[in-house]
């Protein structure tokens, strides 16, 4: 029997300090000329409006300061067990299985500083094996083992990123990872 648990905490900190230093140093200079027009590829804009737009745009970059890291799953649990038959008609047979669980994934942060979470995930695995004690010229026999990963064929895509639009709406299927379907693997191992 094996049981594993991990709790991970991670936080964004010290995001782009050079940009913050630049803004503190340079923006007051530009704001001395609030009504001067700046030529942009999209047209002209007052310096004061341009600075306000820049501050609003970069605020999104710093919004996650002190909040959980994107892509982090705080809780992870893995459980596995195996039983071997040591006597009787099933001698040499072994069976095992387990579950793996990971809590919701952090996808991003909304303008109100609330965290956007994606789905949690869990998978079950199974193994079945048989040890043939003596086999032809192999004095240690042969071990046959069948492994089944993702036993219940849970193939819901895992969300790995969210797009948060200008209205603060999170689109959770912005970035996903496809989950491998149930997989069967039969292996034989021997020593000689």
pLDDT of residue 82: 97
Domain ranges of the chain: 14-62, 69-192
C-alpha 100/C-alpha 74 separation (Å) is 14
The answer, yes or no, to whether residue 11 has pLDDT greater than 70, is yes
pTM value? Answer: 0.68
pLDDT of residue 81: 98
pLDDT in tens, 85-111: 999 999 999 999 999 999 999 988 887
More confident residue, 98 or 57: 98
């Amino acid at each position: 029997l094996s049981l594993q648990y991990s709790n991970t905490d991670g936080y964004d900190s010290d995001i782009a300090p050079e940009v913050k230093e630049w803004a503190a140093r340079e923006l007051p200079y530009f704001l001395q000329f609030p009504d001067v027009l700046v030529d942009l590829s999209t047209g002209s804009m007052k310096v004061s409006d341009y600075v306000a737009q820049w501050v609003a745009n970069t605020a999104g970059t710093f919004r996650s300061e002190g909040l959980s890291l994107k892509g982090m799953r705080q809780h992870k649990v893995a459980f596995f067990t195996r039983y071997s038959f040591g006597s009787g008609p099933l001698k040499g047979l072994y069976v095992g299985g387990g579950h793996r669980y990971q809590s919701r994934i952090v996808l991003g942060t909304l303008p109100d500083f609330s965290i956007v979470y994606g789905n949690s995930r869990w998978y079950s695995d199974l193994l079945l094996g048989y040890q043939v004690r003596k086999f032809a010229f192999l004095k240690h026999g042969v071990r046959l083992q069948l492994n089944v990963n993702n036993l219940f064929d849970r193939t819901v895509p895992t969300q790995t990123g969210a797009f948060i639009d200008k209205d603060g709406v999170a689109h959770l299927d912005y970035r996903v990872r496809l989950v491998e379907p149930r997989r069967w693997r039969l292996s034989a191992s021997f020593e000689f």
